[in-house]
A and B are shown apart, each in its own frame.
Chain A
Amino acid sequence: MTFYPLDLAAIGLGIIFFLVIFAFIFNKKEKFILNFSFSVMTLVGLLAVVAGIWVVYDASAYIMIFNLGLPELPFHFRLDPLSGFFLATIGLLVLYISIYSLGYVRAFLGHKSIARFIIFYCLFIAGMFMVVLADDALFFLIAWELMAVASYFLVIYEDEKVDSKKAALLYLVMAHIGAISILLSFGVLAGAVGGDMGFGSYTFDAMRSANFPAAWAGVAFFLAFFGFSIKAGVIPVHVWLPEAHPVAPSNISALMSGVMLKTAMYGIIRIAFDIIGVFPWWWGAIVLAFGLLSAVFGVLNALMQNDLKKLLAYSSIENIGIILIGIGLSMMFTSFNMPVIAALALTAACYHILNHAMFKGLLFMGAGAILQTTNEQNMEKMGGLIHLMPWTAFLFLVGCVSISALPPFNGFASEWLTFQAFLLSPVVPTPIVKLIMPIGAVLLALTSALAAATFVKAFGVTFLGRWRGKVVPKNREVGWSMRIGMILAAFTCFLLGVLPTFVINMLGNVSNQLVSASINTNMDKYNWLWVTPIVAQRASYSGTIFFVSIALIILATFFIFRLKRGAVTRCNVWDCGFGGLTPRMQYSATSFAMPLRRIFGGVFSISEHVRLKYRLRVNDRFVNIIYKPIVRLSYFISRQVGRLQQGRINEYLIYSFVTIIILLTFLK
């Protein structure tokens, strides 16, 4: 019997379900199952990575039918490059998080049920694996629900907190609204397949080969887009996300933000490119618009947060926005029949999915380490942690640099590709699209800059300065298993940034499958150094050379300035002659965000409360009921009429201006 990647994935799933039963039986030996389960989950993660990368390189699809579920509709498994890529991404993060959890979950020993955590942890991960492996609507939805419910129980794990309960309930409700919408979408698709296939029309294979009427395809796509958007936290259906992420245990936040949101991206890509396949350009434009909205508003909200994990949660919304921008662009280019640029945008989106999983996982792991050392989540009370936990500080900094899209780390590589896709948009034949696209590029640039500001704030306020709280925490650096988890993630961020060509080469098979084109990566002798999306004259980037030159400059600076004798003198902080500085006088998280809060004031709904007031008034009831409304109505009408005639020249000019514009628009 030959051995296929799908068998590996199936073995992984089998191990997970075995672990669930195992944890259920041995729920009294908490320490043992903790060490055992997370060690085995590390192995499962590795299996998934191997299976995923294997199938992506192999560039073929493997199918398996498992006789469970409805009699007419057994579970269909399918592993193709797209699901392989997602499987590998999920597996990689599961690998790191499981190592990290060995140390992190130990803190719950003694006062929380470990078995409960492990069971839902395993089910959650199994759910994510099955979502990307599913090849029929029923199995997909079962996996989807398993993932949602298991993560609900993980969010509510620390159920003594009131916040947890509220957030988890909100999450559950939103997740189910999304699931219903996805269910309806599959219903529409299966109905449109037609024929006498019975339950057979619910398999993705039947949907792939069907020709959908345009209207029904549109209904199905937008139902699915709505449902997946809720899961992904696309603005304006994002409200559950910034509530649920901060209250969940940090390793769970890392998984939810790093990979669970990505399963929604998987769903959108699968339905749009693979199942429906043919669509008008404005679908892509709508996806793009929501991507831009999420990116800009997500990062603006992230900047305003003082809760470290909430900040990271909003930043996830931003990154989902960036991924959606890539997907939307790719859809537009596909519908204009420009496969190479579509492949570029899709590669950028997939690359960012992988990158975001890595650095957001890293950052949430860092936040968890901080939480465990200091028992504090509010940045206003932190500060100076770089002295307490230098390892975490450095690794968190790597995450911050990556997410701020600074070269040579991985965030830059994928955002750069997204920009390249944007800059190629003038080739689009529709003039209005051509004119509006640059604005999108500008918004993306704004997002990147604001993201950098956000993470300067996150790192600066948390790790630099001095401790702002009352009592300096006694704990020091976290244990080695947590550190190793973070080091691996940080190292992956670095590798993905320095060697982008290899990743892009791998992703070429994914884009080949979906838009039947790929960015040509030349893997010759020296050419692997350079990423050249279209032609070298236009733009190219080399992470490796960039890294080497930065490293050389830093080393040179270090040797010149630091190794001189007496180059650094330490003395007291200058206090402007005021005397007696306290840590509370430091630049705080709120004050850091203030200039941008002023500039973008219109975006938020800010309420500042200063004091309460007591007021008493007793009125005649009849006057209120009968007379006041009449008086008010007549005043209201006359004011509305009077508003037209304010006597201001500028307003009269506006009237004529608007009239001209309307006439030009409709009577041209």
Chain B
Amino acid sequence: MDIQITEQIIIMLAALVLLTAFAMLVQRKIYGLISLFMWQGIFLALTTAFVGYIAHRYHLYISAVLTLLLKVILLPYILRMLIIKLKISREVESVVNVTSTMLIGIALVIFSYQLTAPIRQNSAFVAQSIIAIALATVMIGLLMMITRRNAVTQIIGFLAMENGLFFAAISATYGMPLVVELGVAIDILIAAFVFGIFSLHINTTFDSLDVDKMAQLKEDY
């Protein structure tokens, strides 16, 4: 394949990753959120594979397959199970102030571009704007955790943040060594399990998954 076309494909995939991040920011239905997360995973895996192709780093293919297995199949499966256990599959979360959340998201994207400008100039990587998109994805994930109240949604926000970090790693340095990546992947898996168990406990204790309810734990002054 032509280098230039591959480059264009990578840029487009990066744009799609950012798009899914924005979509997740305002998606209210929990199933929709999980499928958006899945799509993000797919785009991520594809980008990884293409970057591997263009940079001739073939261990990135393994990363891509790993991403596909973990983020497209396994994690969504765990999350779905969790939702079924918690009986919240039909819940629609109220998202406050969609407009301003989106505007903050846009501001974050601009901020990331501005921030990464010096790095992008020095980077030899073909598609330099990916670094900015990766940083923006991380921040949007964090923003999602801030704006949401449901514990499960917060888990997804955290996972989206991790997607952004992974993306940054690929784009800035052609991926971390395979050992590190494997470690991170397992970490994520375990984190998902721990989160799941915690959510179950939160649900039994407070009879709700709203993290605002946890403010009750605080003593009144």
Contact = CB atoms under 8 A, between A and B. Distances in A.
B111 A661 contact: yes
B143 to A, nearest CB: 7
B154 A642 contact: no
B221 A657 contact: no
A638 B220 CA distance: 12
B182 interface: no
A656 B158 CA distance: 14
Contact of A654 (B106, B146, B154, B218): B146
Interface string A415-441: 000000000000000011001100100
Contacts of A660: 139, 142
Contact of A647 (B113, B139, B217): B217
Interface in B113-142: 113-115, 117-118, 139, 142
Interface of B: 106, 110-111, 113-115, 117-118, 139, 142-143, 145-149, 154, 211-212, 214-218, 221
Contacts of B212: 648, 650
Contacts of A638: 221
Nearest to B144: A653
A645 interface: yes
Contacts of A645: 218
Contacts of B139: 657, 660-661
A434 B81 CA distance: 45
B117 A648 contact: no
A610 interface: no
Given A435-B110, A436-B110, A439-B106, A647 B145 contact: no
Nearest to A436: B110
A668 interface: yes
Given A436-B110, A638-B221, A648-B212, A431 B149 contact: no
A654 B143 CA distance: 8
Contact of A650 (B111, B147, B217): B147
B214 A649 contact: yes
B146 A650 contact: yes
Main secondary structure of the interface of A (DSSP, over half): helix
Contacts of B215: 646-648
Most chain B CB within a 10 A radius of its CB, from A656, A664, A665: A664
Contacts of A665: 111, 115
B113 A653 contact: no
Main secondary structure of the interface of B (DSSP, over half): helix
Contacts of B146: 650, 653-654, 657
Interface residues of A, number: 22
A650 B113 contact: no
A439 B111 CA distance: 14
24 contacts: A431-B114, A431-B117, A432-B110, A435-B110, A435-B114, A439-B106, A638-B221, A645-B218, A646-B215, A647-B217, A649-B154, A649-B211, A650-B148, A650-B149, A650-B212, A653-B145, A654-B146, A656-B142, A657-B139, A657-B142, A657-B146, A661-B111, A665-B111, A668-B115
Given A649-B154, A657-B142, 12 more contacts: A645-B218, A647-B216, A647-B218, A648-B211, A650-B145, A650-B147, A650-B211, A656-B142, A657-B143, A660-B139, A661-B111, A664-B115
Contacts of B221: 638, 642
Give the 5 A-B residue pairs with the shortest CB-CB distance, closest first.
Answer: A647-B218, A647-B215, A649-B211, A435-B110, A653-B146
Nearest to B157: A653
Contacts of B154: 649
Interface in A626-668: 638, 642, 645-650, 653-654, 656-657, 660-661, 664-665, 668
B113 A435 contact: yes
A664 B119 CA distance: 13
Nearest to A657: B142
Contacts of A432: 110, 114
Given A436-B110, A653-B145, A646 B214 contact: no
B142 A431 contact: no
A431 B115 CA distance: 11
Given A642-B221, A653-B145, A657-B146, A647 B114 contact: no
